[in-house]
Amino acid sequence: MSLVNLQPWLLRAQREGWAVGAFNANTLEQVQAIVLAAQAETAPVLVQISHRALLHVGSGNALLGLRYMAEIGRVAAQSVTVPVGLHLDHANAEEVLAAMALGFTSVMFDGGALSFDDNVAETARLCAIAHSLNVCLEAEVGAVPRADAAGHLDEAVELTRAEDAAAFVAYTQVDTLAIALGSVHAVRAKTVTLDLERLRQIRAAVAVPLVLHGSSGVTDDHIKQGIALGLCKVNIATQLSQAFTAGARGALAGPEEIDPRRYLGPARAAMSERVRERIGFVGAAGKA
Ligand SMILES: [Zn+2]
């Protein structure tokens, strides 16, 4: 299929109590691992691209990275029969506009550095453009922090307030809303719990599908409860890096190995297995 806007699947997931997996890719093999897993599980899927992935793929040039990923995503979607959306994660306005022009079907505008009022105004402006192009626009209220390379967190956590979420959605017409419930980006062990009572209050206050960032560090029990309470898009990155790298490391055990296909192939296969497991876990298998 061509790349599609997965908003109808997100709304269906909301009605039926499951979630669409949004899986991060940094390389060609990782994009392939995701769409092959989705095909095997007959699941709708989001291939998710971070700013740092753009810099990697574009050799330091984010716009070049966007062009590469738009083309790779398009070919990957066309190689399978399940619906695939291409999502740009945590982007500024310039990147959001460029991604939409290049064929991304989903974008996240991160106005976290702006005041609440400025974030509302800029998100509303980008939403109007996104909707004219049939692109799904995600934005964030509150902030999901990032752990450092060692997996530690120094920042204070700013959780989302239900009244802010309700006002933000009403003013911006955003399609999906990322909220801060206590999860942290880049945590390597499943030790974090979510503020589920806060999620219950936010879900009662807003109608749009809610998004969980930083799921790799959250206990599966809390992700599952969160999905039942209205999380409809679950972002998964760190767990995939772990699987991909473990696959490569296993194939590199012999010091004489020099053929990139002999470690990138196993890395792709290992990540695809992890994506299949997560698709099943969030309840998206068979929902394409
Ligand atoms: Zn995030």
In this predicted model, what pLDDT tens digit does every residue of 115-167 receive, in sequence order? Answer: 999 999 999 999 999 999 999 999 999 888 888 777 676 666 789 999 999 99
In this structure, the strands spanning 231-236 and 20-24 are parallel
Mean confidence (pLDDT) of the chain:
95
pLDDT band at residue 181 under the 50/70/90 scheme: very high
Q: Which of 85-99, 104-118, 138-152 has the lowest mean pLDDT?
A: 138-152
Active site residue 118: no
In the prediction, which pLDDT does 151 show? 67
* Phi, psi of 149, rounded to the nearest 5 degrees: -60, -25
Mean pLDDT across 231-252: 96
Bridge partners (DSSP) of residue 133 are none
**Which single residue is written with the structure tokens 């399609």?**
175
Q: Please list, in sequence order, all residues whose beta carbon lies within 8 angstroms of the beta carbon of residue 65, skipping any fewer than 6 positions away.
A: 49, 53, 54, 55, 56, 57, 58
253 or 85, greater pLDDT: 85
**Top CATH class, 7-282:** alpha beta
**Strand spans (E) along the chain:** 20-24, 45-49, 84-91, 106-109, 136-141, 176-179, 210-212, 231-236
Task: Give 212 Cα–ligand 1 centroid separation in angstroms.
Answer: 8
> Residue 50: CA atoms inside 13 Å, Cβ hemisphere, count?
18
Whether residue 142 contacts residue 166, with contact meaning beta carbons closer than 8 Å, is answered with no
Task: Give 252 Cα–ligand 1 centroid separation in angstroms.
Answer: 31
* Phi, psi of 14, rounded to the nearest 5 degrees: -60, -45
Residues of the chain above pLDDT 90, percent: 88
Residue type present at position 243: A
146 or 46, greater pLDDT: 46
Cα 233 to Cα 213: distance, rounded to the nearest angstrom: 9
Cα 238 to Cα 214: distance, rounded to the nearest angstrom: 8
Q: What are the sequence ranges of the domains in the chain?
A: 7-282
Task: Give 250 Cα–ligand 1 centroid separation in angstroms.
Answer: 29
In the prediction, which pLDDT does 114 show? 93
Cα angle 56-178-170, degrees, rounded to a multiple of 5 = 130
Task: Give 213 Cα–ligand 1 centroid separation in angstroms.
Answer: 5
Q: Which two tokens stand for residue 7?
A: 């908003």
Task: Give 214 Cα–ligand 1 centroid separation in angstroms.
Answer: 6
Coil, strand or helix at 9: helix
Coil, strand or helix at 249: helix
Task: Give 78 Cα–ligand 1 centroid separation in angstroms.
Answer: 27
Q: Please list, in sequence order, all residues whose beta carbon lies within 8 angstroms of the beta carbon of residue 254, skipping any fewer than 6 positions away.
A: none
Q: DSSP label at 90?
A: E
Coil, strand or helix at 164: helix
Task: Give 265 Cα–ligand 1 centroid separation in angstroms.
Answer: 28
The active-site residue, picked from 89, 110, 175, 195, is: 89
Whether the predicted pLDDT of 92 surpasses 90? yes
In the prediction, which pLDDT does 156 show? 65
Bridge partners (DSSP) of residue 161 are none
Of 138, 215, 150, which Cα lies nearest the Cα of 178?
A: 138
In the prediction, which pLDDT does 154 show? 65
Whether the predicted pLDDT of 193 surpasses 90? yes
Cα 120 to Cα 126: distance, rounded to the nearest angstrom: 10
